[in-house]
A and B are shown apart, each in its own frame.
Chain A
Amino acid sequence: MSAQARDTILGRIRTNLKKGPGLTGPPPAVRIAPPRVAPEAYVASFKERLEALAGRVHHVAQPEEALAIVQGIIGDKSTVASNAPILARCGITRLGNVQSGFTDAASLKEASAQAEYGITSADFALAETGTLVMLSSHEEARMASLVPVRHIAVVETARLLSGLDELLGRLERPNDQTASMVLITGPSRSADIEQILVRGVHGPGEVTVIFVGP
């Protein structure tokens, strides 16, 4: 069915466009804008942007400080953590109420569905918009930042970029290295009822980002 539909559709397109296979000309050149934020202002800009969306941002020099902040937030609540090395380095995965080291989807799903907090890292962070860039991999599962009620990301400060343009300048085709690139800009929100803002409607209702390192 599909093969026949394919040929019909492609045929109809060529007939109506009066063209054969191939390009009629080159596409317009890619337009990547120069960075809008200077590197020394990355953290401040990220913080301003994410806080405007009701997110929270911390910046610490040492892994132990990140651990203290995480402990202060999660208390004894049930938590899942991704397999990102920085979480182990900070000692987060050794906390008693933190489950981590998941290797299969079923157990991660079950644990995340029960968890109050999901802790991950991020591959990049975008200063211009307060965005976390998550590339799915064996280190970062998709559900850890999505299914729990609240999300905490512990990210090396060096992962900050200016913005979307710089990201796409570096990763010309993000899918060359991942099946899923997700940009997270603030908590889950909806305005579907009377345009009244509600947070945490499906994804996490709170997002906290902790930058580690100078």
Chain B
Amino acid sequence: MPASPPPKIQETLGKPQLQLAVYTNTGRLVEARRNAVRAEAFPDYQELRDHANAVKRHTIENLDYYLEQFEQNVTRRGGHVVFAETGEQVSHFILDLAKKRGSRLIVKSKSMASEEIHLNHHLEEHGLESVETDLGEYILQLNHETPYHIVAPAMHMTRYDVAEIFERELQEKETDPEQQARIARRVLREKFLRADIGISGGNFLVADSGAVLIVENEGNARLSTSVPRIHIAIVGIEKLIPRAQDLAVFLKLLGRSATGQALTSYTSLLNGPRRPGEVDGPEEFYVILLDNGRTRVLESEEKRQALYCIRCGACLNICPVFRKIGGHSYPWVYSGPIGAILTPQIHGVERDPWLPYASSLCGACHEVCPVKIDIPKVLLDLRQDVAQSPSGGGSQALGYRLFARLMSSPMLYRLVDRLRILARPVMGGGWVKSLPAFLNRGPLQGWLAYRDLPGLAPKSFRQQWRARQGGSR
């Protein structure tokens, strides 16, 4: 077991209230999804998953082609496409535009791509006010936190946490969620009406239309993209789909997998600035296509399927590991199973070598994935990468070599089977949670830090087999 996972994991495991919040909230989402995809409600669910997987595979295998087509179709309607390799290029572009237009206030709807690159931080460093407007994101921004979950960003908080934050930051005492939402609406409404620039993310980029598709429930994305004079969408390059008609498949899968909704309250398909004769809508329209390591993920034919992800969060909700260690224990903004296969490919396996191991490989993530990403398979491939990396897995490889040797040699196995008598007093039956100090070192220590071993049985299989053979003769 290579390197050490972050202390945040132990911290999370030690907080019963947090454990309860995460377990309950993910549980509700699991239930909502299960209801929405059951055969009576959604008869062609499994075929649509296969279809979505095929469309995403085709798109990722031809990503350059569809990016160019998307760009052409945005430009044709008077919008602008900006390619950005890094977060710095994104903030540089926005700062420059804000300066040219004399803008100071930016309203933002949810964009995980902007979380990746700490956009708010960079904008605020340069004197701009950039306000998150999704209710959950707004609470997090007030408390200087990152999203806990890609769909339910403030999942780890209770209304009392929110009350504390509002009292501290807004001088409002209120513990009722409905009233808390009213307060946020009032504060943010004033920002919407004054802002010059609205920044959004995008759930899909539609190549044949040059359009950004955004799903949401609150209406803050509609406000961010309709009221200010300038709309900037920041979207990862992998979010492409070829045709608007493909939305007939993807929208059905996304809403149901994320929150159990057939369609979210609002679905916006936006292409270019307002057209002649229109009363409102942005006068300028920009789409920033962010790489930020995504092109690296394309290197491996087997593992690039991580880019098919449509960010529904279903794999987080169902994952026994995520439900215990929570969203903030992961090293990057993408947590849960999808984070465990995306992060190592983007940052390189050596940065967080423990991450591909943070899974029981139970396969639930693969089962619920609306685009059928084989997450367990990719995790195994990544473990192999860790083992083969210069710093990774030396002791683990040695351990497995010894184990292989032992298991393939009857003579050695017999010898060890006899030695178990010596081990019995150490193990003492039941579950082995730790070893005596003299054994608890090196690879054994690492292995047992996060695992309990079953104790030795009183009689080995070989002994029992011998007795059985003897008895039946």
Q: Give Cα distance in the complex from A38 to B313, angstroms.
A: 34
Say yes or no: A188-B248 contact (C-beta < 8 A), given A141-B280, A179-B272.
no
Q: Does B136 contact A (CB under 8 A)?
A: yes
CB–CB A183/B184 < 8 A? no
User: Which residue of B154, B219, B278, B298 contacts A179 across the interface (Cβ within 8 Å)?
Assistant: B278
Q: Digit string of B182-204 for contact with A (CB within 8 Å is 1, else 0)?
A: 00110011000100000000000
CA–CA, A102 and B281, complex, Å: 13
Contact B262 A129 (CB under 8 A): yes
Assess whether B279 is in contact with A105, with CB atoms less than 8 Å apart: yes
- State whether A174 touches B269 (Cβ < 8 A): yes
Q: State whether the Cβ of A96 lies closer than 8 Å to any Cβ in chain B.
A: no
Contacts A5-B89, A200-B185 known; A141 to B279 CB distance under 8 Å? yes
| Bound-state Cα–Cα, A94 to B70, Å | 44
Chain A residues, CB < 8 A from B28: 195
As a 0/1 sequence over residues 167 to 187 of chain A, the CB contacts with chain B under 8 angstroms (1 = contact) are 011011111101111111111
Chain A proximity of B172: nearest CB distance (Å): 14
Tell me the chain B residues, 360-408 only, with Cβ under 8 Å from chain A: none
Given the complex, which residues of B lie within 8 Å of A174, measured CB to CB? Answer: 209, 211, 244, 269
What chain B residues lie within 8 Å of A17 (beta carbons)? Answer: 61-64, 298
Q: Is the CB of B263 within 8 A of A129?
A: yes
B237 A9 Cβ-Cβ under 8 A? yes
User: Do B218 and A202 touch across chains, with their CB atoms under 8 A apart?
Assistant: yes
Q: Does A142 sit within 8 A of B, measured CB to CB?
A: yes
B117 interfacial contact with A, CB 8 Å: no
Stretch of B121-129, B220-228, B331-339, B426-434 contacting A (4+ beta carbons < 8 Å): B220-228
Q: B226 contacts A27, CB within 8 Å?
A: no
Q: What 1/0 mask marks residues of chain A from 13 to 36 whose CB sits below 8 Å from any chain B CB? A: 110110101111101101111000
> Using Cβ atoms and an 8 Å threshold, which residues of chain B touch A190?
135-136, 181, 217-218
Q: Does B120 contact A (CB under 8 A)?
A: no
In the bound complex, do residue B181 and residue A198 qualify as a contact, i.e. CB atoms below 8 Å apart?
yes
Whether B219 and A196, one on each chain, are in contact in the complex, defined by CB atoms closer than 8 angstroms, is: no
Q: Does B58 contact A (CB under 8 A)?
A: yes
Q: Residue-by-residue, is B238-261 near A (CB-CB < 8 Å gives 1, otherwise 0)?
A: 000011111111011000000101
Residues of B275-301 at the interface with A, using a CB-CB cut-off of 8 Å, are 275, 277-281, 289, 291, 295-296, 298-299
Cα distance, A176 to B177, chains bound together (Å): 41
- The verdict on A212 contacting chain B, using a C-beta distance below 8 Å, is no
Q: List chain B positions with a Cβ less than 8 A from chain A.
A: 21, 25, 28, 44, 48, 51, 54-55, 58-59, 61-65, 67-68, 77, 82-85, 89, 92-93, 133-136, 139, 152-155, 157-159, 162, 177-178, 180-181, 184-185, 188-189, 193, 206, 208-211, 217-220, 222-223, 225-227, 237, 242-249, 251-252, 259, 261-275, 277-281, 289, 291, 295-296, 298-299
Q: Top 6 nearest A-B pairs by Cβ distance? A: A203-B219, A192-B136, A16-B298, A175-B271, A202-B219, A141-B279
27 intermolecular pairs with C-beta atoms under 8 Å apart: A2-B84, A5-B85, A5-B89, A23-B65, A30-B243, A102-B279, A104-B279, A109-B280, A146-B219, A164-B247, A165-B248, A168-B248, A174-B211, A179-B77, A179-B273, A182-B267, A190-B136, A190-B217, A192-B154, A193-B177, A194-B25, A200-B181, A201-B135, A201-B181, A201-B184, A203-B219, A203-B265
